[in-house]
Amino acid sequence: MIVIPAVDLRGGRCVRLVEGRADRETVFSDDPVAMAVRWAALGAERLHVVDLDGAFAGEPRQTALVAAIARAVAPVPVEAGGGLRSLEAVADVLAAGARWAVLGTRAALDGGFLADACRAHGERIIVAVDARGDRVAVRGWTGVTDQMVVDVARRAREAGAGALLYTDVSRDGTELGPNVEATAALARAVPLPVLASGGVGRLEDLARLAAVPGVAGCIVGRALYTGALDLRDALAELAHAPVAGHPRSEPGTRTPRPSC
């Protein structure tokens, strides 16, 4: 399992939200590119970049900044999401330098769009299943649909997506520990690599996730920024952690990754 630092963009700054709420924002840097470079220099094998303005607005607002981050940290690959609700937006963020595009709201609501995006870009599509309980949260987590998490995940598999990104919204930004049980249940139910997100605050959290078959990566945000978790310690912990046996591939691609 790899550790993937999160770089969340809002108003041109690097921020973290609690439970995805715009009114619970902490600014950690006025220079997101420098922050991304810092994580890459410390050994991150991948970065998770989110255009929060785009997620709330319904269309990308920070593509130029995503491009700047991708250039600055190359060859470390970047996965990027936030407001990718059209095929043009997906193509644009990939053209900007993102290795993978993370689709959430429209992928959950529109199976045709999901199929078209995967047809065009294959395993460069990661589908975010953002959960409030068993249901999928959408539109920057401001709404909850009647779509079940496992059903959206199965559609992603059928469409040809490369991986799933599972976030328990109620734990995101809290450092109270990830929802390991729900993450493991999703990994068992759907044969796709799972990226876990939400609540990681200690090395023990990473060890628990690393022991789950099918969990190929873990996105960590606030704990890295507050210093509760040191990235170098996290990488060392996982280097010595038992490997969970699983026949599936690495997150986001079924071919060897040049840098991950």
Calculate ∠ Cα 152-7-165, nearest 5°.
15
Asked if residue 104 is part of any domain, the answer here is yes
The predicted pLDDT at position 113 comes to 97
- Tell me if 101 sits within 8 A of 94, measured CB to CB: yes
CATH number at residue 165: 3.20.20.70
Catalytic site residue from 8, 51, 53, 172: 8
Position 257 in a domain: no
Q: What's the rounded Cα separation, in Å, for the pair 244 and 251?
A: 14
**C-alpha span between 210 and 51 (Å, rounded):** 27
* Residue 93 near residue 101, CB atoms below 8 Å: yes
Tell me how crowded residue 11 is: count the other CB atoms within 10 A of its CB. Answer: 12
pTM for this one?
0.88
* pLDDT the model gives residue 141: 67
Among 47-51, 121-125, 221-225, 236-240, which is the least confidently predicted range? 236-240
- At residue 244, the pLDDT reads 58
Element (H, E) at 36: helix 32-41
- Count of the separate structural domains present in the chain: 1
Instruction: Assess if residue 164 is contained within a domain.
Output: yes
8 catalytic residue (yes or no): yes
Output the pLDDT for position 21. Answer: 67
Does 229 map to a domain?
Answer: yes
Treating both helix axes as pointing N-terminal to C-terminal, what angle do 111-121 and 149-159 enclose, rounded to 10 degrees? Answer: 40
Mean pLDDT on 151-176: 90
The pLDDT value recorded for residue 146 is: 81
State the pLDDT confidence band at 127, using cuts at 50, 70 and 90: very high
Beta strands in 68-138 (DSSP E): 78-81, 100-103, 125-132, 135-138
Render pLDDT for 181-206 as a digit per residue (tens, 0 to 9). Answer: 999 999 999 999 999 998 899 999 99
d(CA 204, CA 43): 20
For the chain, give the percent of residues with pLDDT over 70.
90
Average pLDDT, the chain: 88
Cβ(149)–Cβ(183) below 8 Å: no
Q: How do residues 14-73 score in pLDDT, each as one tens digit? A: 997 876 667 777 888 999 999 999 999 999 999 999 999 999 999 999 999 999 999 999
Query: Which segments of the chain are extended strands (E)?
Result: 2-10, 13-18, 21-29, 47-51, 78-81, 100-103, 125-132, 135-138, 143-148, 163-168, 194-197, 215-220
Residue from 51, 53, 130, 172 carrying the catalytic annotation:
130
In a domain, 245, yes or no: no
Mean pLDDT (whole number) for 101-119? 95
The domain in which residue 105 lies consists of 2-239
What pLDDT sits at residue 249?
41
Q: Of 110, 87, 244, whose CA–CA distance to 101 is shortest?
A: 87
Tell me the percentage of the chain whose pLDDT exceeds 90.
72
pLDDT at 242 over 90: no
Residue 132 — pLDDT band, cuts 50, 70, 90? confident
DSSP assignment of 199-211 equals ---SHHHHHHHHT
Is 244 among the domain residues? no
Q: Predicted confidence band at 139 (pLDDT cuts at 50, 70, 90)? A: confident
* Residue found under tokens 């785009």: 54
Report yes or no on 249 lying in a domain: no
Distance CA 248, CA 14 (A): 33
Tell me phi and psi for residue 95, to 5 degrees.
-65, -25
Q: Which residues, in sequence order, are CB contacts of 195 under 8 Å at separation 6+? A: 4, 126, 163, 164, 165, 166, 215, 216, 217, 218, 219, 251
pLDDT, average across residues 105-114 = 93
In a domain, 259, yes or no: no
